[in-house]
Amino acid sequence: MSVKLSRIVLVLLILVPTATAQISVGLQPEEDKELGSNQKIDIFAEASTYRSNGVEYLRIYSREDAGEWVSSEEMQASGCADGYCSVEVKESHPAGTAIEFKAKARSRDGSTYTEGPITIEWISNSGEDEDDGETDQGKDASVSLGSPVDGAEGISTNPGFGFTVTDEDSYSMESVTLAIEEKHGSSDSPWSYYGEGQRAKTYTVTEYGSDVYVSGRNYAQQFDFSGALLDPGKSYVWAVKADDGDGDEPAKSEIRSFTTEEEDEGSGDGEDEDNGNGDDTDWNEDPHADLVVTPDRAESGTRFKFDASDSDDDDGFIDFYRYDFDGDGDWDRTTSDSVVYKRIYDDGRKEARVRAVDNDGAADTDEYDYTVTSDDDVPEIELRSPEDGEEVDPDVRFRWKITDGDDSSMDDTKLVVEEKDYNGDSPWDNGKSYDISDMTDVVQSRTVDLDEDTVYVWGIKADDGQGGYHRSEVFEFTTTEDDGDGDYDRDEANLEIEVEDEDGDELDAEVEVEGPEDESGTTGSDGEIDFDLEPGDYEVTVSKSGYRTETEDVELSEGEEETLDFELEREPEDIEVLYARIPRTVCRGDDLTAEIGITNNGGSEHLELRFVAGSSIAGKDIEIDKYSTELRRITAENIGGEEFNAVLTLENGRERRFAQEVKVNDCGSTDDISVNVRPGEITYGQNVEVSGYVEAEDRRQQVEVFVDGIKLGETTTDRRGRYSLFVRPTNAGRQDIRVEAGQATARSSVNVIPTVNVASLKLPERSFQSREFEVCAEVKSQVTPQVQLVRDGTVIDSKSAEGDVCFDTSTVETGEHTYGIVASAYGVRSGQEREIEVLELGSEVDTFPEKVATVRAEDGLVKVEVYNNREDSGLYEVSVDGLPNGWFTTTDKAFELAKGDRKTVYFYFVPEREGRFYAEIEVSRNGERIQTTNVPIKAQGTTRPQVTWHERIRSLFPSW
């Protein structure tokens, strides 16, 4: 029979983005056991889940001597329901046997959950021969009755029966049967036959949907019958028997009798009332029920304690308790235990109930509210500073971070601080509360002035207002003594992030800050977020789904306030539909062709097209190479009807639908007029010939030609009724052609392929590494084409645009790189490309060495390297100050450098006396000083022959 465990040992939660089963696996016994030789024991396992994916299977595995785990057929649950499965096996082995057992369940999404193992060891019985071959069947079950009491009168015809089944070595009953029989003469047993061979009314307890409570030491069941099951004014006997399945006779209770109440013949005067249990001699006082649930708020899957131990009965004792764990109105468990445990998974506010029933059948009910929160609902709180055990200044700056997957803000958030000496280690009961910001996913702070030289404890509590409530851990800190200046140092920097899109609209984006201190958060509706950080170098990354991720580096100094502005560009879709065209008219019996322009920006190459045109349906698989744009057509044949809604669908993981109302005309060759269009497909700008025949008594007829509703030409038929003229369609795509001659009309169509042209590509010839620059081109087409920016053959950006199209990009590696712009539409492509030289971004001025330690005959040379890292050319000048004229010579004093050019200037110092001197080398660009370098010179031993600077340079560089 199916039973549910009183305790579930382990709950394992696995959360994934889709609906995933969460399975609780229970195994009984919960702990290792030692049994007598051949003593029987029940091994029971269950698996339950409240998620949709359900339980696929549940098995009990066993092994001996650390061998392989095995599971036989009888150890596997069959017919698993979506939400619950159980399996039970009975084990009995001779002394000296030790077996491990574990339970394993699998969800329908493939996740597995295990409980155990436990070890059951069979040992020799004291004083017995362990090889006597006899089987110890264990202890038998016993049954004791509760209410109605024996001899009770005035019992309801819809009575409740209470009883307790006890079995110390079994975890479930094979069957539990309640028997009720009308008392006849001397027959006092409900187990005997009476009347015309009829047995007593018997009820198998578990067939009525009750949740039978089973534990290793106590089994109890209180069952309420509904409906008028018994006759009024009759005497009955009742009893209960329980079979634990060990092969012995079922355990039977004593037999009790009672009399049901007489039929109600009036309200009466209220005298001579009894207590409702047939005892009219002494009035029974009702018991007092008291229930406490702990914890009163916890996450889904928590094992809650339902404590009714403070319940009492002044004139008797509590016989049993009935528990309603979730307040749904149904009694979930009946037991003699005043304290029970239950894991609760369904989140929300619960109103638990307990009903205490005394030995005379009187009862009292108490309620207790508690809250179950889902894992995602509970806010997570991280305390930052002061850290646990830290010493801080008396004006304490508290810092924390609250994370909640469901909310961007809390309903109520408090900072709680208390002196440790006042109430131990917890601030929650008597600490001082401060209202603080309710924002989540960002580090928050507040400064509070506290007493110096004092030990405090602090924490944060947050409530999202939707059942998610949490208290942080508690940190302890000590304030230091005031140094007297009244000023406490703050060494942090503040970094503010502002995020917008290309149109200047604020974005709620994800922000990650990595450096000496890692932080993350989400900008608010104003696109802003700020962080208090330790000084240092940080990398800031901003991202949002559908936009390109941007990263910037920033250096923060102590006390600095810095703002970074981010502009995020929209990310093109993996598969982008540029256009979809379905003709608005079609001739009856003709085919209808739809066109779609597709750009693959790196998505799947395998796509599916479907076209429904009235009763005609077409479908085909297509392939679009990555980073390409192509035109595809699909045709529905033999169109009929009058008017319908044609639907073109593109499928590539998500569905895109395009619809067009289509009118079906009677056209083409008729008795009155015919039309032919040649060729059927042209390039935009070309002419198409429209010709045909008009049947009329007057052979010369005026003929007008309309293309897509616009009149583009007219002519007159010849004497034989024939006509011909050339027209040039003004739009791209499939164009409807209509010919009218008097009242006669004929229709056809032509497909006009657009032209695409890319010209006037503009980009710099040189650019410095990591510098941003623009790549622009003029794109012309009759439609809006897909335009791609290509670097070294790889598409790095794309957009739908025409006219002057520009991309902002930056270089990556030094060297020669090829950049180009490619535009495509309807399978037509055009592009231009050019090379760009990427230069190393170096310092504009470098000097070597930084000082001249000693000037001797072979010393005194200083090299100055000038590098134009600007975007334009410049006139550079190098000069020396601080030394007498004639003490130095130089190779160049003024020179012009183009973008990316370098120039090395040499100075040779020739001091005329010993001592310490300082030469100031100055470099200017276009008259503006860009760098000044002081070079210390120590001169000694200058009695060397005089040489010219040309000779000196030649001696240092013989190859010149």
DSSP, residue by residue, 566-612: EEEPBPPPSEEEEEEE--SEEETTS-EEEEEEEEESSS-SEEEEEEE
**Rounded CA gap, 204 and 224, in Å?**
13
Write down the number of H helices and E strands in the chain: 2, 76
The sign of the torsion formed by the CA atoms of 56, 62, 67, 72 equals negative
Q: Are 83 and 58 in contact (CB under 8 A)?
A: no
What is the predicted pLDDT for the residue at 727?
A: 92
Encoding tokens for residue 510?
Answer: 């994800």
Closest CA to 661 of 634, 633, 642: 642
Left (φ > 0), alpha (ψ -120 to 50) or beta: where does 321 sit? beta
Q: Cβ neighbours of residue 15 under 8 Å, at least 6 residues apart?
A: 375, 376
Q: Cβ neighbours of residue 446 under 8 Å, at least 6 residues apart?
A: 397, 398, 415, 434, 436
Q: Are 418 and 396 in contact (CB under 8 A)?
A: no
Beta strand pairing call for 786-791 and 766-768: unpaired
Encoding tokens for residue 16?
Answer: 């994934």
Positions of E strands within 486-568: 493-501, 510-514, 519-522, 528-533, 536-543, 550-556, 561-568
Residue 11 carries which side chain, given as an amino acid letter? V
Beta strand pairing call for 432-435 and 455-463: unpaired
Report the 3 state secondary structure along 197-262.
Answer: CECCEEEEHHHHCCCCEECCCCEEEEEECCCCCCCCCCEEEEEEEEECCCCCCCEECCCEEEEECC
What is the predicted pLDDT for the residue at 366?
A: 93
> Over the stretch 143-156, which tens digit does the pLDDT of each residue have?
777 778 888 888 87
The sign of the torsion formed by the CA atoms of 406, 407, 412, 414 equals positive
**Rounded CA gap, 20 and 52, in Å?**
8
Low-confidence residues in the chain, pLDDT < 50: 1-21, 52, 126-138, 193-199, 206-228, 266-282, 423, 485-489, 848-858, 943-944, 960
Q: Are 218 and 176 in contact (CB under 8 A)?
A: no
Q: Are 404 and 463 in contact (CB under 8 A)?
A: no
What is the predicted pLDDT for the residue at 605?
A: 79
